[in-house]
Chains A and B, each alone.
Chain A
């Protein structure tokens, strides 16, 4: 009987492992962040109006609704599924809020709650059909797209369009309320301090546990970059109206989802199920529950996106959530670096992806180019993003077969 030998592992291995741990998440987002900068510079040169604080404030407000929907898409994609009905669900949610407030005389808050619950129930239905009965999510949500759009039209009634009162808090939340400058600076400082503290505490825990840990300097890079980023955003947008509350809500949702996905059992199970359904099952992951929760999260976020859209437009009509919105949301998630093949991606890809898409739309509109050009350019960017995703995946698979 031989005694266990210590695994030969060099310090180099440990350090490079640590390096990977600490950069991996940000790493995948780097190319798309770079692409975003290129797009901004290009549009800024083509038409300097693009760069004005006022335009960028508009851009941020325009991104919220689609971004929230894309965040839901990120979750189902990570779980290895797809939801094609997010546009319809958001449209239905908008209709519920508007019709409830105008025809039903509901308080707006009640309408919002009903809309979110409706979204959650739709997601629950998809989840059960897919997870328990094994129906393909692609087809089920395609059917859902049609059914829910029909229900949306029924809810809206004969007019097909309902206006929200301009003085309702939902409209103000999406159009008129901005974080006061002082609060924004304090908030940014608190966030940076928080991120730095978490980094230091985690580094300390790793050192105490004798695990590979980054240097203190390495830990501080992330909050430093964040500080610069937030300072630029707060300072620049502050020259115009500033940061809208709906924008804050979106970014907070992304951050919370990111933490849930990376730091909780649920998030790990979502990625595991998306990566390898059968392996997850064999490992004892509650696969069904995880799938159901992913669909519920996606549809609820889609409904929230619809509610925010209703607030921003101060109206709901048959076109709300219609057209190619679901494709835009899916494109945003994929452009942001979340894989269509499941298991790989990040909540932040919803933010980056939607910024890319909205920047293109906004910039081309400023250049007086029509919707046709917008579609073509967005399509090309999407094709580019998907090619990168596919190439990455092929490289990964090659390394699997290499034994």
Chain B
């Protein structure tokens, strides 16, 4: 296992609100790193730092040991980091294919290559076993779960090295949730580094290798998913119980 991305002493504030304070974290290839924490703990901010939405106030983001400045989602994407944002970030007025390829459309000369994009879209959605009535309906006409699937499919296009999923199973039914978790495992097997942000301890324990706990912007600890109990995790998240053996308190 090698570190694909390293956060070194990263802090981020929004005005007076300290969203992240001095966080050190490694994201490894062939590994699912779960990030858990209460509402407002800083999880989405962490995802934003990894995916170029936010730039850190202090500290560094390193890729393969080299400091990088991820100044935009496009820049992060070029470095092989893709994200599915909590709010999905789909354009309601565009159809499924248009959304999937937004920002990196296939083109032949100056004209878009709709045929190849539509083909790839079907293949990708087939892979994800996604049920979508048509790839040419505006995503506004899709259900919440379908929209989420589209957002995940979009992150997978272009085969990124690191995939950040911010609460990917929220609003999904049982079957779709299982599919997303299966997908996460498959991504790990293919050698991706996956950052899985979630409120669901069950989901996290099902697929994660390592679990990082955030509380009020501080990284409380990293836990081994195999050996950590649900009570330990809940304790660390809420701050009710001090982290014990199996965790590396910081």
Contacts and interface: CB of A to CB of B under 8 A. Distances in A.
Interface of A: 1-2, 4-9, 13-14, 16-18, 20-21, 24, 202, 205-206, 209-211, 263-265, 268, 271-272, 274-276, 278-286, 342-344, 396-397, 399-400, 402-403
Contacts of A5: 129
B93 A17 contact: no
Nearest to A14: B134
A268 B105 contact: yes
Contacts, number: 136
27 contacts: A1-B185, A1-B189, A4-B129, A6-B126, A9-B131, A16-B134, A17-B134, A24-B136, A209-B116, A211-B119, A263-B111, A264-B111, A268-B105, A268-B112, A275-B91, A276-B93, A278-B89, A279-B90, A281-B72, A284-B74, A284-B77, A284-B103, A284-B104, A343-B91, A397-B140, A399-B141, A403-B171
Given A2-B182, A271-B93, A283-B103, A206 B98 contact: no
Contacts of B74: 284, 286
Contacts of A210: 119
Interface in B183-227: 185-186, 189
Contacts of A8: 131
A367 B75 CA distance: 62
B92 A396 contact: yes
Contacts of B144: 403
SS class, residues of chain A in contact with chain B: helix
Contacts of A402: 143
Contacts of B90: 276, 279
Nearest to A260: B110
B85 A399 contact: no
Interface of B: 53, 72-74, 77, 83, 85, 88-94, 98-99, 102-105, 107, 110-112, 115-116, 118-119, 122, 125-138, 140-141, 143-145, 154, 171, 182, 185-186, 189
Nearest to A282: B89
Contact of A17 (B127, B133, B154, B171): B133
Contacts of A202: 115
A275 B93 CA distance: 6
Given A284-B74, A284-B104, A7 B130 contact: yes
Of A24, A275, A278, A285, the most chain B CB neighbours within 10 A belong to A275
B153 to A, nearest CB: 11
Contacts of B137: 17, 20
A250 to B, nearest CB: 23
Contacts of B98: 268, 272
Contacts of A343: 91-94
Contacts of B141: 396, 399
A209 B133 CA distance: 19
A5 B110 CA distance: 35
Nearest to B51: A282
A132 to B, nearest CB: 14
User: What 10 pairs across the A-B complex have the smallest Cβ distances?
Assistant: A17-B134, A284-B103, A284-B74, A403-B144, A275-B93, A343-B93, A282-B89, A279-B89, A283-B103, A275-B91
A64 B179 CA distance: 56
B157 to A, nearest CB: 11
A265 B107 contact: yes
Given A272-B102, A276-B91, A285-B103, A13 B133 contact: yes
Contact of B140 (A7, A265, A272, A400): A400
A232 B249 CA distance: 81
Contacts of B186: 1
A4 B128 contact: yes
A264 B104 contact: no
A17 B135 contact: yes
B132 A7 contact: yes
Nearest to B186: A1
Contacts of A276: 89-93
A342 B84 CA distance: 24
A9 B134 CA distance: 8
A1 B188 CA distance: 12
Contacts of A396: 92-93, 138, 140-141
A21 B93 contact: no
Nearest to B48: A282
A276 B103 CA distance: 13
A275 B77 contact: no
Contact of B89 (A24, A283, A397): A283
Nearest to A278: B89
Contacts of B128: 4
B102 A280 contact: yes
A205 B73 CA distance: 33
A336 to B, nearest CB: 17
Contacts of B185: 1
Contacts of B105: 265, 268
Nearest to B139: A400
A272 B91 contact: yes
Contacts of B73: 281-284
A40 B25 CA distance: 70
Contacts of A21: 136
Nearest to B126: A7
Given A268-B112, A285-B103, A7 B91 contact: no
A283 B116 CA distance: 20
Contacts of B104: 284
A4 to B, nearest CB: 5
A179 B47 CA distance: 61
A206 B115 contact: yes
A25 to B, nearest CB: 12
Given A1-B186, A396-B92, A284 B72 contact: yes
A342 B189 CA distance: 42
Given A209-B119, A272-B91, A4 B126 contact: yes
